[in-house]
Amino acid sequence: MSLRAKIWEYFIFFTAMVLVILWFLQIVFIDNFYKGMKIKDVKNVAVEIAENYGNDDYSLMLTQLAISNDICIDVADKYGRILYTKDTLGKSCLIHGPQASTGNFLYKLKNSGETELYYTEFNQLTNSDMLIYMTIIGSEKSPDGYILINSPLVPVDATAAIFKKQLLLVTVFLLLLSLIISYFMAKKISEPIARITKSAEQMAAGNYDIKFDGKGYAEIQRLSNTLTFAGMQISKVDAMQRDLIANVSHDLRTPLTMLKAYAEMIRDLSGDNPEKRNEHLEIIINETDRLALLVSDMLDLSKLERGDLKLNYSEFNIKELLEDIISRYKGLSDKQEYDISFEADSDITVNCDIIKIQQVIYNLINNAVNYTGEDKKIFVKQINKPDCVRIEVSDTGEGIEPDKIKLIFEKYYRSENHKREVVGTGLGLSIVKAILKKHGYNFGVFSSVGKGSTFWFEIKDIAGKIPQQAPEKPQKKNLFKKSEMSNYNEKS
């Protein structure tokens, strides 16, 4: 059932309920209600008559009361003898007519043992009910007199008939009104929903950048904001997935093609030439390494991102670790003339996951080796600060453009102009980011295009006492000028 139909249904139901209650009250209770009112009026008149019994101008007062209330009044003395008769109803008065006898009525009252008595009687002359009311004047034991009042109930029926007619009009009017209001209300409510549905359909068709418009209601606005946000997220994931497939397939295809080409070459050409064969086999091994690196990076990152990776904290000397890592590059630096310099403050013990931090340092130095300039210089620094140990890895390469600097820590981001010789997966810095975030360490990069980049992070978990700082050394000239530097850092 559509929202429109449902709202219409509720509205009609509500109106019908209101009408039923109204009708019920009017028809069932109006008679009793008016009769009650009439009795009350008549009683009030009787009280006035009783209170003024025997006063001057009593007769005049009775006449006025009879006329103003449109009733017949009889007042009898304590023996039941009629003293006053005020008759405004003429022949239709039930207590006076030819068959009526005041004595009969008073006899009924005396017999009842009550101080007052009333009932309705049908009057054939007026074709309507009439109220007959009687009561005593003075005390119950020795009454001073009696009052007899006859009041027509005609106006009750007449008024009720008018009300019924009016109610019929109101009913028709209300039903029409509820129909119109519910139509517009449903339209107003369902419009933004219809709009959102249309946008959602477009999103389902693959257009994730669609904007949801839920103007009209706070709830619908919130829904549309959430959907817009979800669309953005899906769009991001979609783009990332596309990137991932493009990157991975590209990264897989190149080494695979090489593997195939060189394997074929060994089979067809160089199989018997040990020198050539070894050269080709070396290429096959390198390409296999490249593949293995890609796969292990992907596994690492997915593990880190799933968040089910536990850190194994242990205490170790960070300076020794850095020296150890740098010495392992020695082979590389000797052969390819890379110059990795290490500058460190005093020994310091830190408390964190040594394997993961090692991976961070490796990734940073690897990148520096890959992207450093012609001079093949790389600088590693360990700076002891009062509340942390700062590690910096600098190179003298091309640097990173300011608009790219935010992107390099994203998964699979690789600058378009990276060279094929640079072994990389575009995952290295995402792994660095994930590990440092997991530890809660601050990290960042500042870079100057054409001059180089410095990647840094700060280990906050220092074991034991922090060694006294050496007196400020004169600040070495910075590698780059501040004005041409772009900067990115993240606080964990």
Of the listed pieces 147-155, 158-166, 280-288, 420-428, which binds ligand ADP according to CB under 6 A? Answer: 420-428
Nearer to ligand ADP, 176 or 422 (CB): 422
Tell me the site size for ligand ADP, rule CB under 6 A: 19
Q: Is 453 in the site for ligand ADP (CB under 6 A)?
A: yes
Give residues 331-390 in contact with ligand ADP (rule: CB under 6 A). 367-368, 371
Nearer to ligand ADP, 61 or 326 (CB): 326
Q: Is 38 in the site for ligand ADP (CB under 6 A)?
A: no
* Closest CB 451 distance from ligand ADP, rounded Å: 11
Which listed residue (63, 333, 349, 415) binds ligand ADP by CB under 6 A?
415
What is the C-alpha separation between 191 and 277, in angstroms, rounded?
A: 73
Q: Is 143 in the site for ligand ADP (CB under 6 A)?
A: no
Nearer to ligand ADP, 379 or 441 (CB): 379
What is the C-alpha separation between 429 and 371, in angstroms, rounded?
A: 13
Q: Is 413 in the site for ligand ADP (CB under 6 A)?
A: yes
Q: Is 250 in the site for ligand ADP (CB under 6 A)?
A: no
* Closest CB 395 distance from ligand ADP, rounded Å: 5
Nearer to ligand ADP, 395 or 458 (CB): 395
Q: Is 87 in the site for ligand ADP (CB under 6 A)?
A: no
Q: Is 150 in the site for ligand ADP (CB under 6 A)?
A: no
CB atoms closer than 10 angstroms to residue 21:
10
Strand partners of residue 119 = 132
* Closest CB 432 distance from ligand ADP, rounded Å: 7
Q: Is 448 in the site for ligand ADP (CB under 6 A)?
A: no
Nearer to ligand ADP, 214 or 424 (CB): 424
Of the listed pieces 99-107, 350-358, 374-382, 393-401, which binds ligand ADP according to CB under 6 A? Answer: 393-401
Q: Is 396 in the site for ligand ADP (CB under 6 A)?
A: no
Of the listed pieces 48-56, 243-251, 253-261, 406-414, which binds ligand ADP according to CB under 6 A? Answer: 406-414
Q: Is 414 in the site for ligand ADP (CB under 6 A)?
A: yes
* Closest CB 369 distance from ligand ADP, rounded Å: 9
Q: Enter the tokens of residue 328.
A: 């392992």
Q: Is 300 in the site for ligand ADP (CB under 6 A)?
A: no
Contact 134, 149 (CB under 8 A): yes
Which listed residue (391, 400, 436, 462) binds ligand ADP by CB under 6 A?
400
Instruction: List residues near ligand ADP by CB under 6 A.
Output: 367-368, 371, 395, 397, 400, 408, 413-415, 418, 424-430, 453
